[in-house]
Homo-oligomer: A and B are copies of this chain.
């Protein structure tokens, strides 16, 4: 089975490495330089003090035509709009898509594709891109997949890769909403307060912010099991207590954040349902303001 992966960031490199255990992988990168560097050095994975290497095919994204059976889209949400135009225009082959983006802002774009089968995903790995061909795998997490449209034709081997657990979920909306609620609370608060995931529940004042923000989000998203979701947020804060969230890292490194696909999506929902969202709006503006 042939697999294409679009995007040479940390997640694109990580998936390229692990998926190449069973499949013929081609990684499509934005720059020819990165494609050449990987061709020369292989994909290198740092894990547990070791550096492992595998050979894969590479190409520039401009040469992509969708010739593989399955294509993983591993670009950031805010690059997706540019990519989508090219996916639609350049696709001559017949490929299924798996979208790896955070949040839910990208769902409305997926309807634009012709493909019969599209999956969405949540990725919980910790990964850091050390250089154009090396990724450090510093936290093993689950990759959850669910059908967005079409029928499931994923090979069994995808669920058997060593050190790279993949699970299939029945309901894509529930799967994404769960991750969205967690991200919508942990990411902006840790970024604004510049603290680790654990710190936002470690004093009564921050915890009240978490509660009030959760209540606002729960109303907007019309969550069915509020208590369960809130418990999940607390659990993730505790389990990843020492971690710095991806949004905090983006803010610290003056990178663009994924706030549009997370809080931006919730604000769109609030607008659509005519529900006030003063807390989300303020968090959104704090983050967008510090980006600019």
Q: Are A193 and B282 in contact (CB under 8 A)?
A: no
Contact assessment for A203 and B278 in the assembled complex, using a CB-CB cutoff below 8 Å: no
Whether B282 lies near A212 (C-beta < 8 A) is yes
Cα distance A216–B279 in the bound complex, in angstroms: 12
Q: Which residues of B contact A209 (CB under 8 A)?
A: 282, 285-286, 289
Contact across chains for B279 and A282 when beta carbons are under 8 A apart: yes
**Chain A contact residue count (CB 8 A cutoff):** 22
Report Cα–Cα, A212/B285, bound state, in Å: 11
Please indicate the chain B residues that have their CB under 8 angstroms from the CB of A292 in the complex.
203-205
A contact face: mostly helix, strand, loop, or mixed: helix
Q: Report B-chain residues with C-beta under 8 Å of the C-beta of A239.
A: none
**Docked complex Cα distance between A22 and B25 (Å):** 86
Cβ contacts under 8 Å, A216 to chain B: 278
A281 at the interface (CB under 8 A from B): yes
| A278 and B280 alpha carbons, distance in the complex (Å) | 10
Chain B residues positioned under 8 Å from A290 (CB to CB) = 193
A54 within 8 Å of B (CB atoms): no
A208 within 8 A of B: yes
Closest to A278 in B: B278
For residue A288, CB closer than 8 A to chain B, the reply is yes
Distance in angstroms between the alpha carbons of A292 and B213 in the assembled complex: 20
Within 8 Å CB of A192, what residues of B? Answer: 192-193, 286
When chains A and B are docked, how far (Å) is the Cα of A285 from the Cα of B205? Answer: 5
Q: How far is the CA of A182 from the CA of B95 in the complex (A)?
A: 58
A288–B205 CB distance below 8 A: yes
The verdict on A173 contacting chain B, using a C-beta distance below 8 Å, is no
Residue of B nearest to A211 (CB): B285
Whether, in the assembled complex, A168 has its beta carbon less than 8 Å from a beta carbon of chain B, the answer is no
| A215-244 vs B, Cβ < 8 Å mask (1 yes, 0 no) | 010000000000000000000000000000
Q: Say whether, besides A203-B292, A292-B203, A286 and B212 are in contact (CB < 8 Å).
A: no
Contact A206 B278 (CB under 8 A): no
On chain B, the residues within 8 Å of A208 by CB distance are 281, 285
- Do B212 and A289 touch (CB < 8 A)? no
With A193-B290, A290-B193 already in contact, the answer to whether A206 and B279 are too (CB < 8 A) is no
CA A212 to CA B289, docked complex, whole Å:
14
A256-292, CB under 8 A of B: which get 1 and which 0? 0000000000000000000000110110111011101
Of all chain B residues, which has the CB nearest A276? Answer: B278
A-B contact pairs, 7 of them (CB 8 A): A192-B192, A193-B286, A203-B292, A205-B285, A212-B285, A278-B279, A282-B282
Please name 7 further chain A to chain B contacts, defined as beta carbons within 8 Å, in addition to the given A205-B288, A209-B285, A282-B282, sorted by A numbering.
A192-B192, A193-B289, A205-B286, A209-B282, A209-B289, A212-B282, A278-B279
